[in-house]
Chains A and B, each alone.
Chain A
Amino acid sequence: MRISNQMMANNIIAQLFRQTEQMGKTQEQIITGKRINRASDDPVGISSVLSYRKTISSLEQYNTNISQGKMRIDTVDNILEMVGDLLLDAKEIAYDTDPDMRSEMAEDVAAIREQILQMANYQIDGEYLFSGDEVDTAPYNSTTWLYNGDDGTKDIMIGENMEANLTADGEDIFGADNDNVFNILNDLQTALNAPNAADIEDQISRLDNAIDNLTSIRAREAGVYKRLEATENHNAYFKVNIQEMLSNTEDADVAEAIISFRTQLTAYESTLATSSMILQKSLIDFLG
């Protein structure tokens, strides 16, 4: 085979280009720490990367929603526990048979009613907890005890097409119309003031119903809380897995890249060394 000088030069140049291009790619991987720096580095990989990123972003959002939901349930539960305790106090009073204390007791019951009313009209960030979707309307009128909210629930997204519906309907919690706790307590107050023993006793069973209702709502919300917590844990765990998959897909193995770079550098240096020898020598050097 005849080797012309241009051929030699072209081959060396092509070889050096190939090697520097390779080194450039490896160096980019080391600098960015990423195997995929543009879509063409791995077209299938970049699609997975984007899909993993979407999943991670959604999971983080779901867990943000969930932690807000959990906070709400915590707050609601605290309030309902206090309401329950107050209703128990009222029941104690109704059981008390001391006739001399009736008027003081009636005042106590009125105080309890006011306290519960405050709790029913509790606000977080300017929004009422127990007026359904009408969160900027106080659920209970302070004199008539009429419910002004609606039956909306607090809905939160906890997953793809998955919602948790948290209780927000005041009537559901405190009873409807004449049977709401405020009217019961008012009836008790009236009976104590009368005093009318039969009426007082009537209120005991109504209070029991209200307490039972609160307990069952708290139990239901606790169930939702558990579900939220389970979903939150699952999401967190899932996110870790996806992050690992994301890293496996897009991150470079830097140690491996550095070793490749060393190897490529050695090859490059040998090309330079041999090229300089080949290019410098010709017959001319040996002609006297």
Chain B
Amino acid sequence: MPSIYGLLNVGKSALLTQQKAIDITGNNIANVNTPGYSRQRLTIEQNSPVRVDGQTMGTGVSADSQIQRFYDQFLNAQLSTENQNLGRWEAQKSALKKAELMFDESTGYGLSSAINEFFNAWQDLSNNPSGVAERTTLISSAQYLAESFNQINSSLNQLKADIDDHVDDIVGNINDIADQIADLNLKVTQLEVSGYNANDFRDERDQLVLELSQLIDINSFEDGDGNVTVMVGEGKPLVEGSSTWHLVTSNNGGVQDVNWESSNGTLTNITSQISGGEIKGWTEARDEIIDGYITQLDDLANTMRTSVNTLHTGSVDLNGTTVTELFFTGTSASDMAVNNALVADSDLIGAAAAGEGIPGGNSTAIAIANLQNTASMGGSSTFNEYYNSLVGNVGADVQAADFNFSHQTTMVQDLENYRQEVSGVSLDEEMVNLIQFQHAYNAAAQLITMADEMLDTLMSIAR
């Protein structure tokens, strides 16, 4: 025989269950803007029926202890992979955009114009080989040229030092995140082993793994106990269960490299094993691209220095003496300078060739001016052409990084949208659910009121 108390129980189960559902909806609404949050839903089930008078009667509703979390682990894995590329190109773009500033040629006052002015000054000298003004102008334009080389070189080296700072910072971040993941591993396994679900900790952990993947390429997987293992640098563990290993930076050949520190404190340099993330972007820009610019600039400075010096040595100065002084001193773009002896006495500049009369002889000045049109760089390009193509390459590198970054941003955004499609909270949807649960709650309350009245009626018979 069905009892009124049974009715009360059905009402109670409905009230409790709908309230739980409203709680969860509320939590979804509260986390509508939380990054990495996966919406949750109460799994609602009928209670086991009872047989009463040969009929099967339902006994109400209950919520499963596991709260469902909307989540697509393949999407997350893909996001993690694409995030590594995003981080890489973002860092590289940012590094190269700064390098590009050092080659600022758009205004017309870069190294390129310094080269032009230097050779034009030799032509001016050839027009008036004994002119003090021409000699002084030549010295100052040569100093401007040398200083332009010095300045670009030191700016590029400064940029490399700035990148080192970034690498240090990122390694610090990586270690922090690794510690947090290990901490969450512990929380997730402790909760889940007791049969509860750890949706919120999992969301938080997934979000951290995503953040980590933007910094460095990782390999991560979840074991049967719910622990996430994270590996870096081709198989070096970063997080395993609740243990972490740290990364350490150290100076290697003047730049900060990334090392993995084993449990007994031994360091293994993993810089070249890193293939993604911001770390890769920064180190790649520093060690391959910007270093390449520095080398090319050195080539140019050295070839100009030696070509001019070769012609200058053995020429005849304004005193009629055979020149032994170098025109340029230095060994690279960083320390190229005009010989101090010439700066102190511009008469020591040799404009005439050996055997030519002075002060009218100008063959050396003309020969040096003609260097500008000589294919001195590897026999295939002039100084100007070599530098122009270097500037073009810098631009192309920035453009490529920019293009890759935009492409990767779109890709990550699309994936993020897919993830949102599955896991994201829609307020409209939650509002509909809220109304639905609220109505059910109201109706359940009504049911209890009614059962109460039924009991009252019953009681009044007995009175």
Contacts and interface: CB of A to CB of B under 8 A. Distances in A.
B62 interface: no
A9 B413 CA distance: 12
Given A50-B112, A152-B361, A136 B130 contact: yes
A7 B420 contact: yes
Contacts, number: 185
21 contacts: A2-B424, A4-B425, A5-B33, A6-B420, A7-B421, A36-B106, A38-B101, A39-B392, A39-B394, A40-B394, A46-B388, A50-B387, A50-B388, A61-B123, A68-B127, A132-B360, A135-B360, A156-B126, A250-B106, A284-B431, A287-B435
Interface string B396-427: 10110010000001000100110011111111
Contact of A40 (B113, B402, B422, B424): B402
Contact of A135 (B104, B127, B130, B423): B130
Contact of A134 (B104, B115, B358, B428): B358
A38 B33 contact: no
Nearest to B318: A136
| Majority secondary structure of chain B interface residues (helix, strand, loop or mixed) | helix
A148 to B, nearest CB: 11
A150 interface: yes
Nearest to B373: A160
Interface centre among A4, A64, A250 (most CB of B within 10 A): A4
B389 interface: yes
Contacts of A144: none
A125 B131 CA distance: 10
A51 B388 contact: yes
* Size range of the chain A interface in the assembly: 35 or more
Given A133-B358, A152-B357, A284-B427, A40 B399 contact: yes
A46 B360 CA distance: 40
Contact of B372 (A1, A38, A58, A287): A58
Interface of A: 1-7, 9-11, 14, 34, 36-44, 46-47, 49-51, 53-54, 57-58, 61-62, 64-65, 68, 125, 127, 131-136, 149-150, 152, 154-157, 160-161, 163, 168, 250, 282-284, 287
Contact of B123 (A51, A154, A157, A283): A157
Contacts of A11: 413, 417
Given A127-B360, A133-B356, A161-B370, A156 B432 contact: no
B106 A46 contact: yes
B256 interface: no
B108 A47 contact: no
B428 A282 contact: yes
| A-B interface, 9 closest residue pairs, ranked by CB to CB distance from nearest | A4-B424, A39-B395, A133-B357, A43-B395, A133-B360, A40-B398, A47-B392, A43-B396, A7-B420
